[in-house]
Structure 1
């Protein structure tokens, strides 16, 4: 995938019935289905059963089994409730007889109310000042670990620019914080809000678990640690556009019992808080 049009083709599912949909998979460099893809496809399925113009405001999900890239994924939607203000949907994802993922999503009618938000970090470097993943590959590719270089070599519909580059060869513990600018490649205009939320959810599964490894970087890295997303929750606050860079500001408050917890906030460049994310992931040391 190289552009937003490729990503849209991946996320918009084939309709089998009013509550059943099929999706296919594209690798992002790992041998299993990317969690962000399953999240976004499940939301696409859920949103297509909403007929009252309600807007997605939160979702909560669990990854149960690794997805097979070669098999289609079937999404079954249960209409849990259509109340006076909120509609709730439950989505179950299957490959053959295996349930690999479950998600609950809540949609809210448009209402006016009080409004506040936390501010974006001040004085961050702007995207124009930073190297993207493509730039990092071109500049440092010969010095990167083989697995990391292979990951960077995959074509993606998103460009990422971290405000600080953590050198994996330094083997030095660093604070559990990360700020990454991101932008879609290609024409991202005239996308409806539901689809923008699905794309944002896809992107939200990138980078976030990295902050859980940073405080242990002197001994832990992607090569000697078994990692996997266990759950993923997201809250959607305000409309936005993909015509400029957005900032994903992440932190890891805790790691224990072979699990790491991370959370993040997504802002527009001018500081509008668009969404918040929380995820717990497996981070099990590999004993050889």
Structure 2
């Protein structure tokens, strides 16, 4: 019988946010050094081929962060490849390799494995804080103006009946820039994102017994690693889907497509209803975004992420539980693939990160193409 975690999930800590609980790792010292596993079941988005890709990205980053001096070094880049779809019913083992520890930079590689097979791999580089010197070259892409982007909502957004553990972050789409008068490569898609609740001030590698005794809590700046992992998790939201959206290709606006997707679902009735609510929400968003546009007869047959890179520009200058603005555009698509670039700003206008993702984006064909 399959189990979604190797060890019985620990108790949820009351001061942890949903995203901290969702991304929690446990060391597996009995197997070997620098090996970790997911503490809780991972989310499988309705209709997706496997687990949410952001979980693998974020947990690999968390695993690597366990092996570096947290106060001296901070991640500045990670380059990832999705190898196989992750199975939400099987535990994941994260194997960290300490490639190099230098004076200014530390390099780690992490493999996520299920049943001995690599499903995800990444190389991550960490930089010593302040190693760039007192005199630096500085510039950044400015954040879009308030006239271009509506402000985020004041309260919490709707979950459509989903639990916090299913969706530990919020997202609010903005209207497509300049409507749909631009060619696909010139369109810009934006959304506000943030982790639900408040991320704790407790470092993620503090032992649970220390937490329960109240030790080392509420130390400002101690938990920047949790904010970085949360951002890595959220960065995969609607990412490669940008390619379909700039071409006005709708995946679920057709009710029959939703029914076909649900027909092949083998979960419980409760999970099936949550899946229906999730797909219907996506369908509403697609319909609103394409209102007044002539329907496109083409249909997406397959859309999966292949690789994902994140460049963290100001890794200690933001909170992932406060609204962040993301802007996505796609400079190229062809040969069944598409490339998307994403920028992330804090509300104060600081450019936090730049991400890139290439994905497999295939239309429905007369004959099936194997991945």
Q: Counterpart in 2 of 1:147?
A: none
1:25 and 2:42 matched: yes
> Does the aligned pair in 2 maintain the 1:7–1:157 contact within 8 Å?
yes
Q: Counterpart in 2 of 1:229?
A: 305
- Closer, same or farther: CA 95–243 of 1 in aligned 2, 3 Å: closer
- Closer, same or farther: CA 20–258 of 1 in aligned 2, 3 Å: same
CA drift of 1:162 comes to: 1.0
1:159 and 2:170 matched: yes
| Structure 1: gaps (5+ residues) | 138-149
Q: Counterpart in 2 of 1:143?
A: none
Kindly indicate which of the two structures has a greater share of residues assigned to strand. Answer: 1
Q: Counterpart in 2 of 1:6?
A: 18
Q: Counterpart in 1 of 2:229?
A: 198
Q: Which moved more, 1:10-19 or 1:278-287?
A: 10-19
CA drift of 1:255 comes to: 0.5
Alignment map for 1:3-152 (pairs within 5 Å)? 5-17=17-29, 18-23=33-38, 24-29=41-46, 30-51=48-69, 53-111=72-130, 112=133, 113-122=136-145, 123=147, 124-128=149-153, 134=158
Other structure's SS at 1:230 match = strand
CA drift of 1:183 comes to: 2.1
Q: Deviations over 1:62-97 (max 9, x none)?
A: 000001110000011111001111000001111002
* CA distance in 1 between partners of 2:239 and 2:153 (Å): 22
* CA distance in 2 between partners of 1:204 and 1:221 (Å): 21
- Closer, same or farther: CA 40–154 of 1 in aligned 2, 3 Å: closer
> Does the aligned pair in 2 maintain the 1:131–1:161 contact within 8 Å?
no
- Closer, same or farther: CA 215–151 of 1 in aligned 2, 3 Å: farther
| Structure 2: gaps (5+ residues) | 1-11, 203-222, 258-298, 367-371
* CA distance in 2 between partners of 1:214 and 1:151 (Å): 24
* CA distance in 2 between partners of 1:5 and 1:229 (Å): 27
* CA distance in 1 between partners of 2:163 and 2:190 (Å): 18
Scaled by the length of structure 2, the TM-score of the pair is: 0.66
Q: Counterpart in 2 of 1:188?
A: 199
Tell me the matched-pair count: 268
Residue 337 of structure 2, aligned match among 259, 273, 283: 259
Structure with bigger gyration radius: 2
* CA distance in 2 between partners of 1:129 and 1:8 (Å): 22
> Does the aligned pair in 1 maintain the 2:340–2:357 contact within 8 Å?
yes
Scaled by the length of structure 1, the TM-score of the pair is: 0.83
